[in-house]
Structures are given as C-alpha cells and as structure tokens.
Chain A
Amino acid sequence: MIRVVLPYHLRTLARVEGEVEFDLAGAVTVVAVIEALEDRFPMLRGTIRDPVHFRRRPFIRFFACKEDLSLDPPETVLPEAVRSGQEPFLVVGAMAGG
C-alpha cells in the first residue's frame, strides 16, 4: 500500500482528509504514484504537473524518507519504505518565502 500526503490546498480540492492510500501494481515510481493519484482524483490533473507537458510544477516538491526526490527522474523507483507503506510519499508546496 502506498501512502501519499498532499498539501492542504490539494486535499481541499480532492475533498480528502489526511493521507491518501492506495495499492499500486508494477514499479512504484514517482510518475506511477502521480498518475495513480490523478486517476483516483481527476481534479488533481494539472495541479502537480502541468497538463500539457506533464512536467512537475516549479513550486511542487516530492519528499520521501527525509530526501528531496523532486529533481530525480520521474521513473525513479521509490524507496522500499515508501513501497511498503512504512513511510509516506509527500507532495509539498514549496516555501514561498516572505
């Protein structure tokens, strides 16, 4: 089971509270997790990655196991702790500063 933590505004948009959990067949990669999220919550399409080129939005970050995976290739397999559901995959709105 995969656990995903969404930022506040995306939880509101998707109308979920707390973590999102789902099973994922095949390789558990960054892109597979995002696609699974978008399949389950179509209103999230375009919010994490742009809907035309599927590039991560500039102010979105992906964290897991205290590592920043944002710049890793989308096909990167996520750590075992995420694959097993021990640790969540975090979608984070980058700090705005100020």
Chain B
Amino acid sequence: MSTVRVLVGTKKGAFILTSDGKRQNWQVRGPLFAGWEIYHLKGSPVDPNRIYASQTSGWFGQMVQRSNDGGLNWETVGNTFQYEGDPGTHKWYDGSQHPWEFKRIWHFEPSYTDPDTVYAGAEDAALFKSTDGGTSWQELPGLRAIKGHLWQPGAGGMGLHTILLDPRNPNRIYIAISAAGAFRTDDGGQTWRPINRGLKSLYELPDPDAEVGHCVHHIAMNPSRPDVLFMQKHWDVLRSDNAGELWTEVSGNLPTDFGFPIEVHAHEPETIYVVPMKSDSEHYPPDGKLRVYRSRTGGNEWEPLSEGLPQKDCYVNVLRDAMAVDSLEPCGVYFGTTGGQVYVSADSGNTWNAIVRDLPGVLSVEVQVLP
C-alpha cells in the first residue's frame, strides 16, 4: 500500500506526518528545526526523498535545508539570494521608492524533471532558480522588469508565494505576488508579462482594472490541464481557461469570497476547494464555523464541507500555502490552520479528521504519495 507523507511548515519548526494510503492512522515527527519559522517544504516530483525546506528567522536570516532521504537527515545548502545587477526600488507604503531587500523564501517549487533544479519565491518579490540542488541561486530578473517599481508590499510583505510549472511546457511558468499580481513567462523566465486581465480590485486599487497591483493570494492548476488556472484573490475567486489571458469571477454562492488557499482535485479538474474567511479585516471563518467549500463545476456553484470540522467558536485562519491534495483514489485533501490543526479528508472533502490539533501556527502544507 502507498505511504502518504505530509510536510508541514509552522511558525516554530517543521513536522512530517505519515500514514498508509488509508490516511486514518498517522505518525507525527518533529519539530524539525525547532523554534525556526519554516515557511515551506516541498519534495521533488522526480525524487520524492529530495526535499527542500525554507528555514527563516528575523534574527538569523534565511537558511535553505535539503534532505536526500525523505526528511530523516538534513544539510544546509546555499542561502545567498542576490538580486541581479542594481536591484532598484519598488513602491513603499508612503508612496516613495524603497530599495529591494531580500527577506526570506516563501515557496520552493522543484522541477518536474530534475531533482537538482528548483525555483524559489522570495520576499521582496523575485524568482530565483538553482540547478545544483540549492547550492547556488540565480535570480530571473526579467520578472522585476515588469513594472516592479509600481509593486507595493501588502500587510503580509511583498512575497512571491506561488510558482506553477507547466508540466507540458518547461518554458512556461506562472507566478503570483501579493499586492503585485500574477505573471507568466513562456521562455523559461527570461521575459515575463502580467496576466491580470479580468481581475477587479474595487476596494484595494485606485484603478480596479490595473495591469499590476492586484493582491493575488494563490493560484492552483491541475497538471493535466495546465492552461486552466484557478485563483483566490484577496476578494474574489476566479478562473482562467487560457493560461491567464483572461480571468472570470466564479465566486458564485460562496458566503464570502475572501480567503487565502485554493486547490484543485487531483482527478477531477473541475473540482476545486477554497476556505472562505469572513473578510480582510477579520481573518476567521464566518460565524465561527470552519468550512471548506467545494465546487464540482469549476466554480460558481459551491457546497460547504463541514463534517468533522469545528462548527462553533472557531476563529482560525488558513494561509495561502497551507492546503494540498494527494494523488490517491479517492483524492485526499489537507489543510493546516493558524491554530495549529492539520486536517485531512480521505474522501475528497466529504468528511474531515484532525491529524494533529496543537502544532504551532501552520504556514504551509504539502503532501507526497510514495509507492
């Protein structure tokens, strides 16, 4: 039977949760890197035992940890993330220009074909690439050339948090940045263009249809249909059927369309999941009831999923990188909360169980299925 491995990044360390394919009985290992913020861990699709972890601290800066044995042993690799050339400036909160400054890595995205090739999304927003297993990093600076001087950090910082690789076309990459928007390259990262047409930010931007500046919270794709993208924006849930050329709102009957994560079912590319939060002023579930919403129609028609989730007095948040799906049948869905719970549904969201309830605040969740 398969083994399922869930990689959990939290505010005070990493945890690895394992189970067999039934996903009922779990072993919890951790904390790894105790006391450090672990923004994200992700394994290579080619070699699942190759895992990259972003270990970060306001005191000691950025570390990159790499494991070659599924998380049993770790080694530090390169942590020099240097912007190419003169890094220039971006817009600051007071409207002035502010120098680009590296703060941390939000997200790692390993290549589909080479375990030594991995992309890293940084704050202040930039995309870095390593082809030597994280030993050295090079920026793909063409991204910041796309009106980077107009990008402005939001409350959570100006992080590049989403990296989607097109499994059919290695030259196509999608990325998203808080308070800057979504961008795409079709030449392996040399040149980029904004893909924000159709986004409307009525309350966040002076020009609701601006080319850049939209606060994209997360984008998801089913690898079998890499041209179809689903987005959770600050407000609004949207889809694009043409690789981001145009976005259409599909919030439909959601109780609120503010939230952070969005995911696509592993086998049903029109089944998507979001976790609505009450508002951008109140990052907690409506009515204190934690509910995942599922659409089986690619959006617009949503159903609440609550069985096994707390339905009273629940005021946690679910962050943008803290939701994942596995590739088993039926598809497993996972998410972690700022309250330290990690939930699993082994039946595509119909019912939920807490794997753990009292971890530090969860920053990220990824899942691997091992043969």
Task: List chain A positions with a Cβ less than 8 A from chain B.
Answer: 7-10, 12-13, 42-43, 45-48, 50-52, 57, 59-60, 93-94
Contacts and interface: CB of A to CB of B under 8 A. Distances in A.
Given A9-B35, A9-B36, A12-B34, A46 B57 contact: no
Nearest to A43: B76
B57 A9 contact: yes
B59 A46 contact: no
Contacts of A43: 63, 76
Given A9-B36, A9-B57, A12-B34, A47 B82 contact: no
Contacts of A12: 34-35
B361 to A, nearest CB: 16
Nearest to B60: A47
Q: B interface, by DSSP: helix, strand, loop or mixed?
A: loop
Nearest to A48: B60
B62 interface: yes
Interface residues of B, number: 15
A59 B58 contact: yes
With a 10 A CB-CB cut-off, give which of B34, B35, B61 has the most chain A CB atoms. B61
A59 B79 CA distance: 18
B59 A9 contact: yes
Given A9-B35, A45-B79, A50 B61 contact: yes
A10 B79 contact: no
A46 B63 contact: yes
Nearest to B58: A59
Interface of B: 34-36, 57-63, 76, 79-80, 82, 102
Top 5 nearest A-B pairs by Cβ distance?
A: A43-B76, A47-B60, A51-B80, A59-B59, A93-B59
B60 A10 contact: yes
Contacts of B80: 45-46, 51-52
Contacts of B60: 9-10, 13, 47-48, 57, 60, 93
Contact of A52 (B36, B63, B76, B82): B82
Contacts of A50: 61
B34 to A, nearest CB: 7
A22 B63 CA distance: 25
A57 B60 CA distance: 7
A47 B34 contact: no
A94 B76 CA distance: 24
A61 to B, nearest CB: 10
Contacts of B61: 46-47, 50-51, 57
20 contacts: A7-B59, A8-B35, A9-B59, A12-B35, A13-B60, A42-B76, A43-B63, A43-B76, A46-B62, A46-B63, A46-B80, A47-B57, A47-B60, A47-B61, A51-B61, A51-B79, A52-B82, A52-B102, A57-B59, A57-B60
